[in-house]
Amino acid sequence: MAEVAVSVEEAVAQFREEGYLILPRLYPDALIARAQADYARQMRQRQERGEGIGYPVGIGRFMLSVQLEGALIDPALFAPPFVAALMENLLGPDHILNSVSSVVAAPAAQLQPLHKDHELIYGPERTAAIGPYAITLVVPLVTLDNISGTTRVHPGSHLRPAAECEPVEPMVPLGGALLVDYRLSHRGTPNLGPRLRPILYYVYSRPWFVDERNFHALPALVLPENATPPVARLFRRAATLGIDTW
């Protein structure tokens, strides 16, 4: 059974200060097994259709779209109660699920350049005052460790220059997750193992935020017609704007 060792209040306080949060036991094994199987099936279908491995985001690292089906659109995966409570506190009651994608680091993938997922839209002072406008829920489909690699983060760099912040490399077990403020400086580390390192990216945001920087090269997301109410509420930007991607 999955469990979270900290309270929502403690998690919110830590995230606001450091800009990231490890949730080491968020999902039950059966749910992760379903997500792995659904993702692997989609990757096989890509190969059968002759599609490329994805959009390059570094040497040996690629961003891919995912089809919203099966476990990948199960609220238990992208909006478990603890995550939903965190987003409510950090992004407000009208937050949305802004985008869904995946990133795969191939064997021998190299260190990614240090970057933020989006530039500071209001400048350092005002951005710090209003808090996060987007947060990535990283769901690894393999264990993130010293062999497979992980995402090196600079805690506090969402509020001050990364050069002033000592980097750390979060180790995330299978069934865990990593939350990252969109303003945090970070980089993917090398994959020293023999297998692919796939991770799912669920980006939550305030309802007015549109990320035009990261998703211009990916195919549109399509929301299933039979989506359950929690899914439809979080994806409501699609219906509001008359589009199926962000």
pLDDT computed for residue 152 by the predictor: 98
pLDDT computed for residue 231 by the predictor: 61
Percent of the chain scoring above 70 in pLDDT = 84
Please state, in angstroms and rounded to a whole number, the distance separating the CA atoms of residues 186 and 171: 14
**Domains in the chain, please, with CATH?**
8-240 (2.60.120.620)
pLDDT at 61 > cutoff 80: yes
Determine the average pLDDT of the residues in 76-101. Answer: 92
Give me 170's structure tokens: 């979060």
pLDDT computed for residue 96 by the predictor: 87
Please state, in angstroms and rounded to a whole number, the distance separating the CA atoms of residues 82 and 54: 31
Cβ(71)–Cβ(63) below 8 Å: no
Please state, in angstroms and rounded to a whole number, the distance separating the CA atoms of residues 237 and 210: 10
Q: What values do phi and psi take at 117, rounded to 5?
A: -70, -20
Please state, in angstroms and rounded to a whole number, the distance separating the CA atoms of residues 97 and 184: 19
Contacts of 80 (CB under 8 A, 6+ apart): 2, 26, 27
By the 10 Å C-beta count (0-12 exposed, 13-18 middle, 19+ buried), 119 is classed as: exposed
pLDDT computed for residue 1 by the predictor: 42
Determine the average pLDDT of the residues in 185-198. Answer: 97
pLDDT computed for residue 129 by the predictor: 75
pLDDT computed for residue 97 by the predictor: 87
Give tens-digit pLDDT for 11-29: 999 999 999 999 999 999 9
- Lowest average pLDDT, out of 55-64, 168-177, 187-196, goes to 55-64
As a whole number, the mean pLDDT across the chain is 86
pLDDT computed for residue 237 by the predictor: 44
pLDDT computed for residue 104 by the predictor: 96
Residue with the two structure tokens 């891919």? 64
The strand pair at 177-181 and 96-105 is best described as unpaired
- The amino acid present at 100, given as its one-letter code, is V
- The amino acid present at 197, given as its one-letter code, is R
Cβ(82)–Cβ(23) below 8 Å: yes
Determine the average pLDDT of the residues in 131-138. Answer: 94
pLDDT computed for residue 183 by the predictor: 94
The secondary element (H helix, E strand) that includes residue 200 is: strand 197-205
Please give the residue that has the higher pLDDT: either 246 or 203: 203
Stated length of the chain: 246
